[in-house]
């Protein structure tokens, strides 16, 4: 369903439409742009929060499209993404903020100080 929502949101955006995605799954935040917003329920259907790019940046400290990199590093059991051992929310967010993407982290992994994080990134590059 995530792929269908993403595809439909992009098509609508390309055609000049404003899009609101309503979902309880925060994965949808990676689709947020200036034209695509996400309404996420907090409690029930009457208490919701609207995410635009600024709200995603404020919550995570990086761009909505970088959420996929964050998730790849941190892992997500609900989506069967193992992540990198020892990398939690704070470390994943800092790496994305500092390097921009998983690809950039792996290209520049030698810049990281020696230790468990560097070793785990190298060992779990797949």
Query: Where is the domain boundary, 43, 60, 77?
Result: 60
Residue 47, sorted as left (phi over 0), alpha (psi -120 to 50) or beta, turns out to be beta
Indicate the pLDDT class of residue 72, thresholds 50, 70 and 90.
very high
Query: Where is the domain boundary, 33, 60, 87?
Result: 60
pTM as predicted: 0.86
Answer yes or no: do 34 and 50 share one domain: yes
Q: Which range marks the domain in which residue 39 is found?
A: 1-60
Separation CA 62–CA 60 (nearest Å): 6
Answer yes or no: do 48 and 9 share one domain: yes
How far lies 19's CA from each of 13, 41, 75, 101, 105, in Å? 7, 17, 28, 26, 32
The tens digit of pLDDT for each residue in 27-49 reads 999 999 999 999 999 887 788 99
Going by their DSSP bridges, the two strands 19-22 and 36-43 should be labelled as parallel
């Amino acid at each position: 369903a995530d792929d269908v929502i993403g595809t439909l949101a992009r098509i609508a955006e390309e055609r000049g439409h404003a899009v609101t995605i309503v979902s309880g799954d925060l994965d949808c935040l990676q689709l947020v742009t200036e034209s695509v917003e996400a309404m996420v329920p907090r409690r029930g259907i009457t208490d919701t929060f609207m995410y635009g790019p600024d709200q995603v940046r404020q919550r995570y400290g990086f761009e909505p499209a970088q959420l996929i990199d964050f998730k790849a590093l941190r892992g997500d059991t609900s989506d069967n993404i193992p992540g990198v051992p020892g990398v939690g929310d704070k470390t994943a967010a800092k790496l994305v903020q500092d390097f921009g993407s998983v690809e950039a982290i792996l290209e520049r992994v030698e810049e990281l100080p020696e230790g468990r994080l560097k070793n785990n990134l190298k060992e779990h590059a797949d």
